[in-house]
Structure 1
Amino acid sequence: MAHIIVVGNEKGGAGKSTLSMHIATALARMGHKVGALDLDLRQKSFGNYVANRRKFSEKAGIELPGPDYHDLPEIAQDALQPGENIYDQRLSAAVSMLEPDNDFILIDCPGSHTRLSQVAHSLADTLVTPLNDSFVDFDLLAKIDEDGEKILGPSVYSEMVWNARQLRAQAGLKPIDWIVMRNRMGAQQMVNKEKMGKALDKLAKRIGFRVAPGFNERVVFRELFPRGLTLLDLRDIGVKQLNISNVAARQELRELIKAINLPGVSVDF
């Protein structure tokens, strides 16, 4: 069966779609078959990212490795059994369609609490949560005291992940391997950055996730989206000499993929 990777965080603007595209492309470049779904049915940032990649590849006449992206299939309301939820069935049908031909299925969740996101989290073998390096975003994981040092208790997203873990346990499935990565970190070692690191380490032990190396704030991530490109594609489009920032960003991605530690993946880019 395909290993299911869910990229989730109920707060918008955390970098989920950028992260999803880079993970999926890295796996594809290493020879793995990757199916992909975007559960943000309104905005479809990840789906648009993949579509931009397809258009650019065709226009440039080059072939870029990437995920096999699909929209959720439509299901007629009259095809549902009593008590069945249409969103559950659409997601189930999509996963069933992708499983036979892929090593991994990557699911990008919306930045809000939806039925689809809840179900996707319960399907996750690996859950990756990007978190902007701010206590505003940290609040989604846990409540913290005014000094930013004492954890007062889990917050809404952590509780949703806990519920997903309970559902998997009841179904006899393996526990979710939950990874939190810090995103858009500043280059300087500021007090807030240090406090965030300590708070995440404390929370990780308390509610059971791993903290992975994250991404620093870089303009290049925003520049790549219109062409559907990732950091790993730059040489393919004629960039002969990567600048220092791009080299550092590739190394950050490499360290993240290593830390996620997916089955059968040997990082070689």
Structure 2
Amino acid sequence: MGYENSDGEHPSVVLADVSRRPEINAQIIVFANEKGGVGKSTLAFHTTIALARAGHKVLAIDLDRRQGSFSRALDNRQATARSLGIELPSPKHFVLEHQSGAMMMQEIARVGRGCTKIVIDLPGHDSPIARRAIAMAHKLITPVNATFVDLDSIAHFNPATMQYSNMGRFTETVSQLQELKQGTDLPKTDWVLVKNRMRRNEKKQLDRFNLAIEQLPQKLGLRLASGLSERVSYRDLFMFGLTHADCIQLPEMDGVRVHKSADMDRLINELDFGDPPADLAPLPPVKARKPARTMARYRQSLRTHIGAKEHVTTSR
């Protein structure tokens, strides 16, 4: 099989670079797709917080230094915790500014000491650092919206028969790395294609999309999972760095009905991150310090954002 990459770097070079780095004693979870706008950062953020809330010690790495959506959501979370005077389960995190394999491993060792899960969010394009993260991944999570435009980087289909035709460019990269990883000490990657932002009212389009995508586990050796539905509340909560599960426990939020999202519970179960830590302790109640004027204003802003668009309710 011939290998070709945009910068001429052979996959064996990527694997050789990764293989000579020190072993990482943590599960590496990579969110990647060369198509932008498919919800990578949103899913990475919600997954990271779900793992932190479950008691895992998590390191979050944003490799999209230009957009920085993942790290900004985590910064927003820290700002919310400070503004409300509360503790929120959160990961350690950093943006990798100098993007080389050596620097990534150095920062993981420096910042991620003791972490059991490492969540990496990649930019929506191919790059040497992206290929190194994919090569390291125990789990590779690829979100895709229910359109054939978004599916194009994964696979191509015959428009007349809707049968699988050939790999997309992103899949070629993943497959080349997976093939060459066989026989090495690098971990086998569990590749999960996440059907994200499903709009139930677009039944005809969704049926055609499902007919196509359900061929991919057999053709490409991946598995399918359901992501987050298209809901305003996910986007509104971004600026506060919160998830639905956080909102349930926020103190002094009278008048706002908040229910945990079934979407996220289902996705975490389907992704199967293994058993929770043996020493897991229940999350303590979220208690705020005596609210100052700033805290009251912040709560009012959060209450307005949740209530003005839609209640944060469970999807069915």
TM-score interval (norm. to shorter): 0.7 to 0.9
The residue matched to 2:215 in structure 1 has which SS? helix
- Shift of residue 253, structure 1, vs aligned partner: 0.6
TM-score, normalised via structure 2 length: 0.75
- CA gap of 1:87–1:185, structure 2 versus 1, over 3 A, is same
- CA gap of 1:185–1:33, structure 2 versus 1, over 3 A, is same
Cα distance in 1 for residues equivalent to 2:273 and 2:154: 24
Note if contact 2:154-2:171 (Cα within 8 Å) is conserved in structure 1. Answer: yes
Is 2:179 aligned against 1:155? no
Aligned equivalent of 1:37: 61
- What is the aligned counterpart of 1:10 among 9, 14, 34? 34
Cα distance in 1 for residues equivalent to 2:193 and 2:161: 18
Q: Can you list the C-alpha shifts for 1:20-75, whole angstroms capped at 9, x where unaligned?
A: 1111100111111000100011111101111111111101111111211123375x
Is 2:273 aligned against 1:262? yes
Cα distance in 1 for residues equivalent to 2:71 and 2:250: 22
The residue matched to 1:70 in structure 2 has which SS? strand
- What is the aligned counterpart of 1:117 among 130, 147, 151? 130
Cα distance in 2 for residues equivalent to 1:148 and 1:50: 44
Residue type at the aligned position of 1:36:
A
Aligned equivalent of 2:88: 64
The residue matched to 1:93 in structure 2 has which SS? helix
Aligned equivalent of 1:91: 104
Residue type at the aligned position of 1:72:
L
Cα distance in 2 for residues equivalent to 1:148 and 1:211: 22
- What is the aligned counterpart of 1:24 among 40, 44, 48? 48
- Shift of residue 98, structure 1, vs aligned partner: 4.6
Cα distance in 1 for residues equivalent to 2:107 and 2:220: 31
- Shift of residue 96, structure 1, vs aligned partner: 2.9
TM-score, normalised via structure 1 length: 0.87
Residue type at the aligned position of 2:62:
D
Aligned equivalent of 2:16: none
Q: Can you list the C-alpha shifts for 1:150-189, whole angstroms capped at 9, x where unaligned?
A: 1110110111111221343253223100111111111236
The residue matched to 2:56 in structure 1 has which SS? coil
Note if contact 1:122-1:167 (Cα within 8 Å) is conserved in structure 2. Answer: no
Cα distance in 2 for residues equivalent to 1:167 and 1:95: 24
Task: Map 1:70-219; keep pairs closer than 5 Å.
Answer: 70-72=94-96, 74=98, 87-147=100-160, 149-188=162-201, 190-219=203-232
Aligned length: 253
The residue matched to 2:36 in structure 1 has which SS? coil
Note if contact 1:47-1:69 (Cα within 8 Å) is conserved in structure 2. Answer: yes
* Aligned CA-pair RMSD: 2.1
Where structure 1 has 5 or more consecutive residues not aligned to the other structure, the ranges are: 75-85
Structure 1 vs Structure 2: percent identity of aligned residues?
33
- CA gap of 1:169–1:98, structure 2 versus 1, over 3 A, is farther
The residue matched to 1:64 in structure 2 has which SS? coil
- Structure 1 stretch displaced more, 40-49 or 170-179: 170-179
Cα distance in 2 for residues equivalent to 1:215 and 1:73: 29
Cα distance in 2 for residues equivalent to 1:148 and 1:156: 22
Note if contact 2:68-2:95 (Cα within 8 Å) is conserved in structure 1. Answer: no
The residue matched to 1:173 in structure 2 has which SS? coil
Q: Can you list the C-alpha shifts for 1:180-229, whole angstroms capped at 9, x where unaligned?
A: 11111112361110121121110121111110122211011110111111
